[in-house]
Chain A
């Protein structure tokens, strides 16, 4: 356990100032910044909106719309590939693999970095949504939104999105550990994501592991209803891909 924590700390430091770290921050504030700008432009409606009991739900939904279907899957694809790319680009697998660490620890620590970055992203995204909700009013002298923030519902949404992303993380991790060329995981991920959008209204759409984020957002719309519980499937795919990724990683003939 100690070895894992040390390894994680070391991996976390590597991510500092890297493209992946920036991606988390920029990605988290991208949609909130757009909403913020839109609110400023349509400032005439601000007072009426702010008084509505569903003010926060509306805000939440509009923030997640592009995020769930588009930005989050693509962000996960990019960030996961960037984390492994740190080693390929710097030619440092040979350094990492000659440190006295078990392969399972190295594998787990890197995966944990991706997952913690996702948590970090969700946290920043929530902060961004909150700021997009209150800052325009503060700037324009409109009263603070009347309705209370439905924390519990939002947190459970965050959790569901996190789980929905897990299959993407694991499969991207598998691919990007395998291939030195950055274009392979990114191109492959993009192809799978396009496929996932194409099958959204298909009744077997849940079979494609990249669909869960979109389905989580579309839940409650009969057109996109799926016959299975999504989150257990997401977890199942995650475990399957993680196991496969570890097997392939350990079996690798050249370790740097």
Chain B
């Protein structure tokens, strides 16, 4: 039997010692089998939320449920099914990559062969006797991910895991997470402050800002938020003349170098506009609605 939500919080609130509310009434719901992007700008409360979920901070108000059970009384059972990487990876700097994994392997009692497997999964197979403290930032991050994957968790919690990865590393990471999700059914909760980094990968999104959840739903639902943002883009042979024609019609036109844009129009209005342009000897190369720009939606949410 599988709970619909692998992770669920109810009215989760948190204050640090100084009394300012960091999280307020957070109702996080991570569906089983999803890749959940947890988005928010710096200081929004992402790390604090994940630390609460993992028991690194004591819950003050609200509830955390993992795998359909309250977390506190089932802490060990839940942790056995979770792999986590919170903020900068925790590595023992004087130990090699293999030894770092052995430290965990002894606790989780997984087969020793897993160590070689996860190392090659993250592309760190050949680091030999080099202590982890001398790894580059990206290598440390990769080892941190390997450590989170070692015991084949059902839920992977990654806090800004692409920190320090090169473009190729980011690509590999996305591939890796997609594969884990599709082939092993691993649920993945991944935080970031960049939507662009996640949008190609996630199925669900939660947007947090100043400790409040502003949006939660599927990626498609996010895309349908604020269609008012969408515009019609026109590329023509004479952008200046096009601009003045658009403005003459009382439209809120904007110039973008060779192109112009206006708010979305009804089909009849588009046809009429094209006729006018052609009549005025302006060649129309392209007319298209702008893709709803997720980053813009996100920025709009957190700056509102």
Contact = CB atoms under 8 A, between A and B. Distances in A.
B197 interface: no
Contacts of A94: 51, 54, 56, 86-87, 90
13 contacts: A7-B107, A10-B104, A13-B99, A16-B95, A17-B95, A89-B93, A91-B88, A92-B90, A94-B56, A98-B79, A100-B79, A101-B76, A254-B57
Interface of A: 6-7, 9-10, 13-14, 16-18, 86, 89-102, 253-256
Contacts of B80: 100
A90 B79 contact: no
Interface in B76-99: 76-77, 79-80, 82, 84, 86-88, 90-95, 99
A17 B94 contact: yes
B58 interface: yes
A239 to B, nearest CB: 27
B109 A6 contact: yes
B76 A14 contact: no
A102 B76 contact: yes
Interface in B114-139: none
Contacts of A91: 87-88, 90
B248 interface: no
A63 B226 CA distance: 80
Contacts of A102: 76
A97 B106 contact: no
Given A14-B92, A98-B82, 17 more contacts: A6-B106, A10-B102, A10-B103, A10-B106, A13-B99, A13-B103, A16-B99, A17-B95, A90-B90, A92-B92, A94-B54, A94-B90, A100-B80, A101-B107, A253-B57, A253-B58, A256-B56
A97 B55 contact: yes
Contacts of B91: 90, 92
Contact size class for B? 20 to 34
A90 B93 contact: yes
Contacts, number: 81
Contacts of A95: 90, 147
B158 to A, nearest CB: 13
B89 to A, nearest CB: 8
Given A6-B107, A6-B109, A97 B56 contact: yes
A256 B90 CA distance: 10
B201 to A, nearest CB: 23
Contacts of B79: 98-100
B107 A100 contact: yes
Contact of A254 (B56, B75, B82): B56
- In the A-B complex, the 9 residue pairs with the closest CB atoms: A92-B90, A95-B90, A100-B79, A10-B106, A100-B80, A100-B76, A256-B56, A255-B56, A9-B106
Contacts of A254: 56-57
Contacts of B55: 97-98, 255
A165 to B, nearest CB: 25
Contacts of B93: 89-90
Contacts of A9: 106
Contacts of A86: 92
Nearest to B147: A95
B129 to A, nearest CB: 10
Contacts of A18: 94
A198 B75 CA distance: 48
Contacts of B75: 100
Most A CB atoms within 10 A — which of B57, B79, B82, B106?
A: B106
Most B CB atoms within 10 A — which of A86, A99, A255?
A: A99
Contacts of A100: 75-77, 79-80, 107-108
Contacts of B109: 6
B81 to A, nearest CB: 9
Contacts of A253: 57-58
B56 A99 contact: no
A91 B140 CA distance: 13
A95 B91 CA distance: 9
B115 to A, nearest CB: 13
A253 B84 CA distance: 20
